[in-house]
Amino acid sequence: MSKSSTPTASPKAEHSDVVLVTGMSGGGKSVAMHALEDAGFFCVDNLPAELLLDFLRLEQQRGKRHVAIAVDVRRAGSLPLLLPLIKQLRTEGVAVRSIFLDANTEALMRRFSETRRPHPLRQDQSSLGAGPQDDGEDQHRALLDAIALERELLSALRVESTVLDTSQLRPAQLRAWVRDLVVVDGTALTLVFESFAFKHGVPSDADLVFDVRVLPNPYYDRELRPLNGRDAPVAAYLEAQPEVSLMLGQIAGFLATWLPSYAADQRSYLTVAIGCTGGQHRSVYLVETLARKFADHGQVLKRHRELDAR
């Protein structure tokens, strides 16, 4: 940070709307930043943490209200400074929203393989004593080690952020989800309901996970199979099942009981993931119904991971 005589006070909240985009290399930061740029944000990539306060002061003078800053492990030496700065800004009333883009190791490995880009933490093979023609196994192991190290370096930042699991997301989905996140009031708890298919894995960004595979499945009705939980015939079928009403009431009751405690814990987002086998009927219906039940909560988002991917 600057050591000049310029005052070091943080930017005022009324002049700032700051989104910090961080996460795993290959997690989708470029896609997210493009979405924010399209939404009217002034975007800066790979800003050193040491320059954050000075940069925000400058943007305040220029009158810019929406700023998005991408920070990743390329600035590993600055990472220890980042969390204290974020907490300082929030304490002083600056609305800073940190979005952490995560993905499972298999997805990250695949993306690096497809793009043939080197991981920023991958060590030079020559420094490891490997020959210039190191085989595929060595390269695979080096990439795995780099991803594991990156997870460790970013773990504290992940805890303080809103996490998006991009493992199963298409770029269009990610752009839409990021836009949804930045339009809500970051000072109040946002309740996110997300449907998913267990066969494609549990979303790593979920705070609460409910398994509804025990409920009657519309998939086995030939007429309902091609439909989804947003369609009236599927909703009518599920509403007629006593088990569905019981499950729905218990989930709603749990959330109603504990939402005040989650809000008091100063969380920005609470993601409630509802999973069934295919992510098409039961989980979608419950997400739609719960979102309506909690509409008066103030800030509610809906996501359908499998449906949105089509």
Going by the annotation, the residues of the binding site are 23-30, 72-75
Contact 181, 162 (CB under 8 A): yes
What is the rounded CA–CA span in Å between residue 17 and residue 45?
Answer: 17
Q: Which token pair is 52?
A: 């954050």
- Binding-site residue ranges for GTP: 72-75
Residues in the chain: 310
Per-residue HEC secondary structure of the chain comes to: CCCCCCCCCCCCHHHCEEEEEEECCCCCHHHHHHHHHHCCCEEEECCCHHHHHHHHHHHHHHCCCEEEEECCHHHHHHHHHHHHHHHHHHHCCCCEEEEEEECCHHHHHHHHHHHCCCCCCCCCHHHHCCCCCCCHHHHHHHHHHHHHHHHHHHHHHHHCCEEEECCCCCHHHHHHHHHHHHHCCCCCCEEEEEEEEHHHCCCCCCCEEEECCCCCCHHHCCCCCCCCCCCHHHHHHHHCCHHHHHHHHHHHHHHHHHHHHHHHCCCCEEEEEEEECCCCCHHHHHHHHHHHHCHHHCCEEEEEHHHHCC
Of 150, 87, 92, 163, the closest CA to residue 123 belongs to 150
Residues with Cβ within 8 Å of 120's Cβ and at least 6 positions away in sequence, in order, are: 25, 72, 73, 74, 146
- Binding-site residue ranges for ATP: 23-30
